[in-house]
Amino acid sequence: MPPETSAATPGPASVRSVLDRVVAVLSAAGVPDPDVDAELLVGHVLGVSRGRVQALAVMGERLEDAEAERVRELQERRAAREPLQHITGRAAFRSLELNVGPGVFVPRPETEVVAQFAIDALRSVAAPEPVAVDLGTGSGAIALAMATEVPHARVFAVENSPEAFVWTRRNVDESGVANLRPVFIDLADALPDLDGSVDVVISNPPYVPDAAIPRDPEVRLFDPAAALYGGPDGLDVVRTISRVAQRLLRPGGTLVLEHGELQGADIRALLTADGWRAAATHRDLTTRDRATTALR
C-alpha cells in the first residue's frame, strides 16, 4: 500500500502575497490608491515605513500568521471605507505626523498648500515675534505647521468642539512646541486680548452647504458634521470668521481661508462687502480654486 499522505500545511504568507491580496480587496471596494494604502496598512502592522514594506516585498520576506491576520482585519475596515488615518491613528501633514481619530477632521493634502499662504505671510512680517491665529484648528495641523516652520512666531490654535479639542491638545503636547497655545472657546469670542495685534489669521472652516452630500464615503460617513457643513450656502462660518478676523488683525494683516472649488467668487464678494482689501482666490496643485486671501 502507498504510504499515507497529508495536505501540506501552508507556510507564512509572503509580504508580496499579502500586499497583492489587500490591493485586490481595496480595489474591489473602490478605494482610491489601493497600492499605497496596502503598503501603509502592512507597514502599520509591522511598525515599519512604506519604503521598508516595499523592500521586504522585493526580498521575499514573510509575515507571521498573527501579522497576516491583523492585516486582514485592517483591510476589511479600509474596504468599508473607514479612513486610513483612523485605522492607523496617524495623518501626515507637511513635515508633521499627527494623531487623528473619531471626532476630528482628518487633514487633507490640499490644505498643505493653503497653510503655505499663511506661513509665507507670517515669515514676511517685519517683527521679532509675529502673531498668528488658526480659527477652528481641529487636529492642530495648520497651527502646528506655522509654529514649527516659523519658530519665532507666536501661534494660537482656537477650537470650539470638545471632541476635536482632545486631538488638538494631544498633538500640541506631543509636538513639544513652546510657541503654540491651544485655546478652547467659541470662535466668535476668540482671543479679545489680541484685538488689533494679530498678523495672520487662517481658517479651514466647514464650508459644505447643508444640502450637499460629500462624494467620498470617508468624508460622508466618518468626518464630524460640525467640521463639514456651513449652513445653506456653506458660508455661515466664513461670515463669522470674517468678523472675528477683522477684530483680531492689525491694519495690513492677512486673512487666509480654505474653501470649496466653486466658492471663490462668493467669498471674495463677501469679504469685499465686509471691508477687506485685495481679496484674491488661489488654486491648489490640482488647479482647483482652494484658498482666498485678503488684507485687513
Q: Is the pLDDT of residue 2 over 90?
A: no
User: Which pLDDT tens digit goes with each residue over 200-259?
Assistant: 999 999 999 999 988 889 998 898 999 999 999 999 999 999 999 999 999 999 999 999
What confidence tier does 55 reach under pLDDT thresholds 50, 70, 90?
A: very high
Share of the chain above pLDDT 90, in %: 92
pLDDT on residue 10 = 54
Q: Looking at this protein, which amino acid is placed at residue 16?
A: R
User: Which pLDDT tens digit goes with each residue over 174-205?
Assistant: 999 999 999 999 999 999 999 999 999 999 99
Please state, rounded to an integer, the average pLDDT across all residues of the chain.
94
Sheet of strand 289-295: strand arrangement? 180-184, 154-159, 131-135, 198-203, 249-258, 289-295, 277-283
User: Which pLDDT tens digit goes with each residue over 66-98?
Assistant: 999 999 999 999 999 999 999 999 999 999 999
pLDDT on residue 160 = 97
| C-alpha torsion 51→110→120→123, nearest 10 | -60
Q: Which CATH number fits domain 91-295: 3.20.20.70, 3.40.47.10, 3.30.70.20, 3.40.50.150?
A: 3.40.50.150
pLDDT on residue 11 = 59
Give the mean model confidence (pLDDT) for residues 282-294.
Answer: 94
